[in-house]
Amino acid sequence: MQIQTTLQGKTILSTTLLLLLCGLSSGQGTWTQKTSLPSAARITSVAFTIGNKGYFTTGQGVSTSTDYYDDLWEYNPQADTWTQKANFPGGGRGYGIGFAINGKGYFGCGRDVNNLWYNDFWEWDTLTNIWSPKANVGGAARAAATAFVLNGKGYVGTGESSSNYLNDIWEYNPTNDSWTQKNLFAGSARQDVDRAVFTVGNKAYLGLGIGIGNYADFWEYDPNLDFWTQKANFPGGPVFGATGFSINAIGFIGLGTNFGDSTLWEYNTSTNNWSGTIQFPGGPRCDLPSFVINGKAYIGTGWNTQVYYNDLWEYNPYASGINEIYNNNSITIFPNPFSTQTTLQTTTSCKNTTLTVYNSLGQQVKQLTNITGKSITLHRDNLPSGLYFIRLTQENKTLATDKLIITDN
């Protein structure tokens, strides 16, 4: 069976493999190996997205006694190319934290080759390619902490200090360069939650990690209420060094220290359910970051026992290129989830448009044709409850895509 061939950025998948990939995940999807990071293989790098570009910085290499990196790289998914940017001025280190707010990148914390721990914090400007020091992260210097962004503010917390595990959470306001302590993380103090986090809407979802024990618990954070709510445990069992991201309101978490397992699990925030899985073709590994650009996830680097990587993989959650959108049309669906019928509202008017519904195996289960206007009513009819995918097409071009959830309630 031909598995995959990449030629000048184009992916050719056999029908057999495409069906296999669809069957592995309720999210479906295809993987494409992209151009590797043109620098040393490493773990515990930090990644973030600004506009249509992804960024990798810092990390620890094969030798823990010498190899700590301070480089910053920009990835262009359209050209599948890397461009080196200004090195991080705080020195080489691993286990840092980072994110992007309002077109600027932020990085800090971590530890270095001398086993020094940091709580410094820096801003990188994409326009000037200059790093500027900012107010230190609140609390103790830390490594292997977690970080995320909600409502234009950054959050940093948990991790390990030089003497103990942490469960404090700090909010960063870039407008006045200040940190405010928030309610403690409601789970046990721990490290290596770091990359096992994603956001959907105005809430963050995180968990797993290692402290006094290894953890499989999972939590939702609401910044408006400054409140933690425990959710369904991660079905992959206790693990640390995992990675996470979200696409179209569906979260994905997986990989990590179960070195025999290359699984990523889907989490639905609306139903609090872990559902289908997808298999990362790069093999089992941990301590690798991810970022999302235009509805596609990018995962790379990391390690598996003694093997370090500098590769990069693109995950498209829609089989058969369903996510290739040819214009700026988008869909608003309400209600979603639904039990009887729902309404799809498009941003631009449709003309002779087709709406196709696929089940979790990528099989077509319903189709509406000759659609005109901006409002589409979709009836459940005899479809069973579960996760579905929709594609809006016109003249064989995809205008928009999204996901549906049908319930029996």
Determine which of 108-117, 183-192, 341-350, 396-405 has the lowest per-residue pLDDT on average: 396-405
150-170 pLDDT tens trace: 999 999 999 999 889 999 999
Token pair belonging to 168: 């404090």
Question: What residues have CB less than 8 Å from 34, skipping those under 6 apart?
Answer: 9, 77, 80, 298, 300, 312, 313, 314
Q: Hey, what domains does the chain have and what are their CATH numbers?
A: 5-321 (2.120.10.80), 331-406 (2.60.40.10)
Q: Is the pLDDT of residue 17 over 70?
A: no
Q: Which amino acid, 100?
A: A
Q: Is the pLDDT of residue 145 over 50?
A: yes
Of residues 404 and 378, the one with the higher pLDDT is 378
What is the β-pairing status of strands 104-108 and 97-101? Answer: antiparallel
How many Å apart are CA 126 and CA 104, to the nearest integer? 6
Determine which of 226-240, 255-269, 321-335, 367-381 has the lowest per-residue pLDDT on average: 321-335
Confidence bin at 63 (pLDDT 50/70/90): confident
Q: What integer is the mean pLDDT of 8-28?
A: 35
Number of C-beta neighbours around residue 225 at 10 A: 10
Q: Is the pLDDT of residue 327 over 60?
A: no
What is the β-pairing status of strands 296-300 and 312-316? Answer: antiparallel
Q: Is the pLDDT of residue 132 over 80?
A: yes
How many Å apart are CA 75 and CA 291, to the nearest integer? 11
Q: Is the pLDDT of residue 71 over 50?
A: yes
203 burial class (0-12, 13-18, 19+ CB within 10 angstroms)? middle
Confidence bin at 29 (pLDDT 50/70/90): confident
Q: What integer is the mean pLDDT of 90-111?
A: 97
- Residue carrying structure tokens 């959830």: 405
24 burial class (0-12, 13-18, 19+ CB within 10 angstroms)? middle
Confidence bin at 396 (pLDDT 50/70/90): low
